[in-house]
Chains A and B, each alone.
Chain A
């Protein structure tokens, strides 16, 4: 049971918005669509909702082809980036509107509206108009209206992007709890790798209108299928260096040589791209095997709990992530350390050969949401 997208293409004015999309989403599961702006996330969501018709391909719900069917006939609820509410209706009537349309009894409507309003902490605002609410309260109202429907498909298009980051943190926690209790398919788009990780469930990586990889979120994070997936699913950016491997040694073109260890040592000779995420660079050596990279600080970005130190080594900009607040000045000398086994290695075509994780780790069955 679920939603099936088969060979979907979408062209608008000769431009390809979606290309060769094949996805199977299962009822009761949570899916995060991760991609940069213009990757096709919103196009994909509109296709799932029935707001847009594909140029070719088909959409099946529980085995029934619904490709041409209008959104009104489908069981869909959607939350947008912008806070969309009926401006002339109170918060209560906004939340109640889908139930009224469905002809539910007054008692049932009242019970459901009040229950959701209390879960989303807007129970004290039910008599207000949307214009009298803060941005966070407006979005809570829109979310309550989408959830009250108990639709088969719940779509959220970057719902938190226009909120302050602290509000985002709180609302994300609440949404997670709400998702856990639902029987429907939940699809949530975001541009932020960290948000995708926190939401967990399954991930769909989109880039330039194509689906690059799909699987359990933690598995995809630890085993990005290509350099493009790794770029899209790393924040701060993953650090890449092209390299030649010969007789169990790596020679990074930026001028770093080291002996390969563990599974990395089994790489056949050839050309590769080595990638290391910022949290696997360190400012102190953690073992004897670590490689030291003498560098200069370009900028220390502080996000509150971590510091991202952008540094340059032989004119190449890279970034290291450190826990805590560390003020560095532009131009400071630092030594950055990396363990030879902490690299992701991609072949000449850009596909993953070795990841630093445990050998033999494979996608587990899709975990329950």
Chain B
């Protein structure tokens, strides 16, 4: 196990990068603690696979250093770094038995036979593979095969980290949660450093203690699932985490009011004071689930025109226009749906302010 550090890493796939846009990774300076479970989350093209390849050693960065426990490994190959990888598609020896697949990485390293036996059985038990040990890998289901791929990393005691690149892509939706649960158990039991790369927020938020959300070659926020949801540091985090994403309304601050064209939203004293110090384009942010929706005017509420309602079974999403801006609210399945005008209140403690896309704090 190791602590992994990226020191001032930047990477471009062009020979002579000039502009910031030429870089797939702009400036990454971060670290992964020994034994932590991390996710790199972001849309396609955000740089997460580039970053994974730099961590594993498949790619040498244009700038900066990669350190494992303080040792510079920037130019070392993946084998020399003792990294185990689990890819989208299971990588294993189809003609070998499950036992031999799990034992292979240890035999390769000259581990004693009795030690191999012990380790393979231990890992097989955790992964519910014990009954398949004598079977050939070829005939197993996709989720069993993927568990073997994970097991080949787990058997090794010298492994610095296990890297997962969208490992559940080929798993049937109904089976996904079983495998997620297995991965979570492994993490709690073995304390490996685990790094998952995914564009799927469920995977990232479920499996990782710390999620790094990436956007256009940068890490825009690192935090627990709760922090990303409650306190998005960047507009992109508010948009990407949660369905539907956070509402953003361009506003002008006027004392304790955020003015959105004709509508005025009261702010807390603290928020108003913070807002006074900011410069740039100001926007008010609020999660659809925190908006309070009334059928009639109430004290401090503002009127919005209902443009649509989407029934998602356990809740409804109400689309509206508030002072010429689109806005969405989430209604519980028992809540009445306003017909043409909805009256919205913004709980002060749930309002965020953004200046030039960054959280005001």
How far, in angstroms, from A191 to B176 measured CA to CA in the complex?
14
The listed residue with most B CB atoms (<10 A of its CB), out of A277, A305, A323, is A305
Contact A302 B206 (CB under 8 A): yes
A327 contacts B by Cβ under 8 Å = yes
Closest B residue to A200 by CB, please name it: B311
Residue interface mask A178-210, B partner, CB < 8 A = 1: 000000000000011110011010000000000
Partner-contacting stretch, out of B75-83, B111-119, B222-230: B222-230
Q: How far is the CB of A99 from chain B (nearest CB, A)?
A: 31
How far, in angstroms, from A37 to B243 measured CA to CA in the complex?
25
Top 3 A-B residue pairs of the complex, sorted by shortest distance between their CB atoms:
A279-B314, A302-B205, A299-B181
For the side of the interface on A, what is the size category?
35 or more
Partner-contacting stretch, out of A4-12, A68-76, A122-130, A161-169: A161-169
Contacts A302-B201, A304-B229 given; 10 further ones with Cβ under 8 A? A164-B199, A165-B201, A197-B312, A299-B184, A301-B180, A303-B201, A304-B201, A305-B229, A325-B225, A329-B188
Contact A302 B225 (CB under 8 A): yes
Closest A residue to B224 by CB, please name it: A327
The listed residue with most B CB atoms (<10 A of its CB), out of A134, A165, A308, is A165
Closest B residue to A308 by CB, please name it: B177
Residue interface mask B7-36, A partner, CB < 8 A = 1: 000000000000000000000000000000
Contact B333 A330 (CB under 8 A): no
How far, in angstroms, from A221 to B202 measured CA to CA in the complex?
24
Partner of B244 from A169, A191, A218 at Cβ < 8 Å: A169
B positions within 8 Å CB-CB of A: 43-45, 172-174, 177, 180-181, 184-185, 188, 199-202, 205-206, 224-226, 229-230, 239-245, 287, 289, 310-315, 330, 332-333
A239 contacts B by Cβ under 8 Å = no
Contact B311 A218 (CB under 8 A): yes
Q: Known contacts being A165-B200, A310-B177, is A305 close to B43, with CB within 8 Å?
A: no
Contact A166 B239 (CB under 8 A): yes
CB-CB under 8 A from A169, the residues of chain B are 243-244
Closest A residue to B287 by CB, please name it: A305
Partner of A299 from B177, B226, B333 at Cβ < 8 Å: B177
Contact A197 B229 (CB under 8 A): no
Q: How far is the CB of A163 from chain B (nearest CB, A)?
A: 9
Closest B residue to A306 by CB, please name it: B314
CB-CB under 8 A from A278, the residues of chain B are 314
Q: How far is the CB of A234 from chain B (nearest CB, A)?
A: 8
CB-CB under 8 A from B229, the residues of chain A are 304-305, 324-325
Contact A198 B240 (CB under 8 A): no
Q: Known contacts being A165-B199, A218-B311, is A304 close to B177, with CB within 8 Å?
A: no
Contact B313 A221 (CB under 8 A): yes
Q: Known contacts being A165-B199, A198-B312, A237-B174, is A325 close to B43, with CB within 8 Å?
A: no
Q: How far is the CB of B6 from chain A (nearest CB, A)?
A: 25
Contact B242 A305 (CB under 8 A): yes
Partner of B205 from A167, A221, A277, A304 at Cβ < 8 Å: A304
Q: How far is the CB of B184 from chain A (nearest CB, A)?
A: 6
Closest B residue to A136 by CB, please name it: B44
A300 contacts B by Cβ under 8 Å = yes
How far, in angstroms, from A342 to B311 measured CA to CA in the complex?
19
CB-CB under 8 A from B311, the residues of chain A are 197-198, 200, 218
The listed residue with most A CB atoms (<10 A of its CB), out of B185, B206, B239, is B206
CB-CB under 8 A from B313, the residues of chain A are 193-194, 197, 221, 277, 279
Contact B224 A301 (CB under 8 A): no
How far, in angstroms, from A330 to B333 measured CA to CA in the complex?
29
How far, in angstroms, from A308 to B206 measured CA to CA in the complex?
10
Contact A327 B289 (CB under 8 A): no
Contact A323 B174 (CB under 8 A): no
CB-CB under 8 A from A135, the residues of chain B are 44
Q: How far is the CB of B143 from chain A (nearest CB, A)?
A: 14
Contact B312 A303 (CB under 8 A): no
Closest B residue to A323 by CB, please name it: B289
How far, in angstroms, from A135 to B201 measured CA to CA in the complex?
19
Contact A304 B45 (CB under 8 A): no
The listed residue with most B CB atoms (<10 A of its CB), out of A193, A236, A304, is A304
A20 contacts B by Cβ under 8 Å = no
How far, in angstroms, from A166 to B43 measured CA to CA in the complex?
8
CB-CB under 8 A from A164, the residues of chain B are 43-44, 199
Q: How far is the CB of B71 from chain A (nearest CB, A)?
A: 33
CB-CB under 8 A from A166, the residues of chain B are 43, 239-240, 245
Contact A304 B199 (CB under 8 A): no
CB-CB under 8 A from B315, the residues of chain A are 279, 323
A321 contacts B by Cβ under 8 Å = yes
Residue interface mask A300-335, B partner, CB < 8 A = 1: 111111001010000000000101110101100000
